[in-house]
Amino acid sequence: MTVAMITDREFMQFQRFIFDAAGITMADGKQALVSGRLAKRLAHYQLGSYGDYLKLLESRDQPAELQVAVDLLTTNETYFFREPKHFALLRDLAQDAADKHRTLRVWSAASSSGEEPYSIAMVLADVLGDASWEVLGTDISTRVLQRARSGHYPMERASQMPQHYLKRFCLKGQGSEAGTMLIERALRQRVQFQHLNLNAPLPKIGTFDVIFLRNVMIYFSLETKRQVVTRLLAQLRQGGYFLIGHSETLNDINDTLTAVAPSIYRKP
Ligand SMILES: C[S@@+](CC[C@H](N)C(=O)[O-])C[C@H]1O[C@@H](n2cnc3c(N)ncnc32)[C@H](O)[C@@H]1O
C-alpha cells in the first residue's frame, strides 16, 4: 500500500482538531509526527488521504475514533520518580499530615500511564501506611489510563525508583513477563484514575493538598496555560502545593502563588 502524504492544509486542520479537543498547540513543521502517528488509522479504514480521515472524524460516523485520534496525537512520555525533588517535598508533607492526623489528597493532573501517581502513592504508603490518604490520576488519553489501571510496566521505567520501593510495591515479571513489573494490588487499589480534560470545566473532584501539573503545560499556548492553571488552583486548598515540570514556569501565567523553589509553588 502506498503511504499518503499529508498536505499543509490537512496538517493545519489537525492542528485545529487537537487544539479544540485538548488545548494542545502543535507547532508548525510537525507534519511528519502527525502523519506518522495517524498512518495506521488510514490503513485501518483503508482511506487514501489524511483529508478522508478528517472527514471521518467530522462525520461522527465513528464517534469512538475521536478519542483514538486524541490518544495518538498526545505525547505521553513519563517514568517513575521523575524529578525526585518533588517526591522529597511530598515525603515532608506526608510526615506533617501524619503528625497532625490529617488526610492528604494529591492529584496527578496529567498522569499519563500512571508512573507519576503510583510514585506519589508509594511515598504516601511508606509514610502514612493505612492512614487516610488519596491519590487521583487524570488524563485526556483513555489509552494511557487503561495502561495506568493495569499497573503493568516495562522494568526500565523504574530505573529511578528507590530499590526498597521496587521490592516492596512491585512484582517482578517471570517467564513470558520477564523484563516487566506489576504494581502490587493493594497499592493499585489506592490510586483512582479518571478521564479528564484540563482544558474544559472540571467535574466534581474536591480540593487537594498537592497538585502535580508536570510536563503538560509545554503543549499549551500562553492563554491556555493561564486558563488551565486558574481552573486547577480552584481545586487547591489554601496552603497547598502546586508542582510543575522543571522546564516550566508560572511567570506570566499566574501571580497568585508564592514561589517556594523552582517548579514548587504554594497557595497563600
Ligand atoms: C508528557 S506527559 C506528562 C506525564 C507526567 N505528568 C510526567 O511529568 O511525567 C503529558 C500528558 O498530558 C496529557 N494531556 C495533554 N493535554 C491534556 C489535557 N487537555 N487534559 C488532560 N491531559 C492532557 C497527555 O495525554 C499526556 O499523557
Each domain of the chain, given as residue ranges in start order, spans 8-74, 84-266
How far, in Å, CA of 10 to CA of 208, rounded? 41
- Return the closest-CA partner of residue 236 out of 259, 260, 213, 217: 213
State whether residue 191 is helix, strand or coil.
strand
CB of 49 closer than 6 A to ligand 1? no
CB of 24 closer than 6 A to ligand 1? yes
Q: What is the DSSP string of 130-178?
A: TSSEEEEEEES-HHHHHHHHHTEEEGGGGTTS-HHHHHHHEEE--GGGT
**Cβ distance 71 to 142 under 8 Å?**
yes
**What is the CATH code of the structural domain delimited by 84-266?**
3.40.50.150
Instruction: Give the pLDDT of residue 60.
Output: 83
- Mean pLDDT, the chain, as a whole number? 96
CB of 22 closer than 6 A to ligand 1? yes
CATH C-level class of 8-74: mainly alpha
Count how many Cα atoms sit within 13 Å of the Cα of residue 208 in the half-sphere of its side chain. Answer: 26
Q: State mean pLDDT over 78-103.
A: 97
DSSP 220: B
pLDDT (tens digit per residue) in 197-225: 999 999 999 999 999 999 999 999 999 99
Instruction: Give the pLDDT of residue 50.
Output: 97
Q: State mean pLDDT over 104-125.
A: 98
Ligand 1 centroid from CA 139, angstroms: 6
Asked if the model's pLDDT at residue 250 lies above 60, the reply is yes
Residue 227 cell numbers, joined: 486558563
How far, in Å, CA of 77 to CA of 113, rounded? 9
Q: Give this prediction's pTM.
A: 0.97
Q: State mean pLDDT over 180-206.
A: 98
Q: State mean pLDDT over 162-168.
A: 97
Q: State mean pLDDT over 128-134.
A: 94
Ligand 1 centroid from CA 112, angstroms: 5
Residue to probe by mutation, ligand 1, list 135, 139, 196, most atoms within 8 Å of CB: 139
**Cβ distance 93 to 210 under 8 Å?**
yes
**Is the Cα torsion angle 18, 71, 228, 30 positive or negative in sign?**
negative
Q: 182 pLDDT band (50/70/90 cuts)?
A: very high
| Ligand 1 atom with least separation from CA of 70 | 25
How far, in Å, CA of 41 to CA of 216, rounded? 25
Radius of gyration of the chain (CA): 20
CB of 140 closer than 6 A to ligand 1? yes
pLDDT (tens digit per residue) in 7-55: 999 999 999 999 999 999 999 999 999 999 999 999 999 999 999 999 9
Amino acid letter for position 165:
Y
Ligand 1 centroid from CA 144, angstroms: 10
Active-site residue, 37 included: yes
Residue 228 cell numbers, joined: 488551565
State whether residue 47 is helix, strand or coil.
coil
Q: State mean pLDDT over 129-156.
A: 97
pLDDT (tens digit per residue) in 54-77: 999 999 889 999 999 999 999 999
Asked if the model's pLDDT at residue 1 lies above 80, the reply is no
Active-site residue, 139 included: yes
| Ligand 1 atom with least separation from CA of 23 | 19
Instruction: Give the pLDDT of residue 84.
Output: 97
State whether residue 135 is helix, strand or coil.
strand
Q: State mean pLDDT over 124-149.
A: 97
Exposure string (b/e) for 239-258, b if CB count within 10 Å is 16 or more? ebbbbbbeebebeebbeebe
Q: State mean pLDDT over 215-241.
A: 98
